């Protein structure tokens, strides 16, 4: 069975197309897909919140929201996210996780 996931986000003036591989990878990694403003694509919540954002005119970024209203921002390539999800699946199939 093939999972087909696609997400189109409207961020003010421009639309951001999130391809099927990235959407599926985010889902497998435990992220909730968002349809928020400001280019927010997905988030995962715990002791800290991690959001994947795509600011207009910039690349994809992970924003880690820490206690005390502090943030760390990391640039990320969509291929890194997809590769991480693929490795996670392979590890689970092999029983390593």
pLDDT of res. 46: 86
* C-beta separation of 84 from 22 below 8 A: no
Six token digits for residue 11? 């961020």
What pTM did the predictor assign?
A: 0.67
* C-beta separation of 75 from 47 below 8 A: no
* Cα separations in angstroms, 80 against 60, 68, 84, 97: 11, 29, 6, 19
* C-beta separation of 81 from 22 below 8 A: yes
CA 53 to the chain's CA centroid = 8
* Cα separations in angstroms, 5 against 8, 28, 38, 58: 10, 12, 21, 23
Q: Tell me the angle at which helices 20-28 and 78-94 cross, rounded to the nearest 10 degrees.
A: 50
Give, for all 97 residues of the chain, the pLDDT tens digit: 233 333 333 334 344 567 888 889 999 899 998 876 678 889 998 888 999 999 888 999 999 999 888 999 999 999 999 999 999 999 988 886 5
């Amino acid at each position: 069975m093939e999972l087909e996931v696609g997400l189109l986000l409207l961020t003010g003036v421009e639309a951001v197309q999130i391809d099927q591989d990235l959407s599926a990878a985010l889902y497998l990694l435990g992220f909730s897909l968002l349809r928020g403003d400001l280019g927010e694509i997905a988030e995962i919540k715990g002791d800290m919140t991690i959001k994947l954002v795509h600011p207009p005119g910039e690349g994809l970024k992970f924003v880690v929201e820490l206690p005390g209203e502090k943030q760390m921002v990391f640039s990320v390539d969509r291929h890194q996210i997809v590769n991480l999800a693929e490795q996670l699946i392979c590890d689970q199939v092999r029983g390593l996780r």
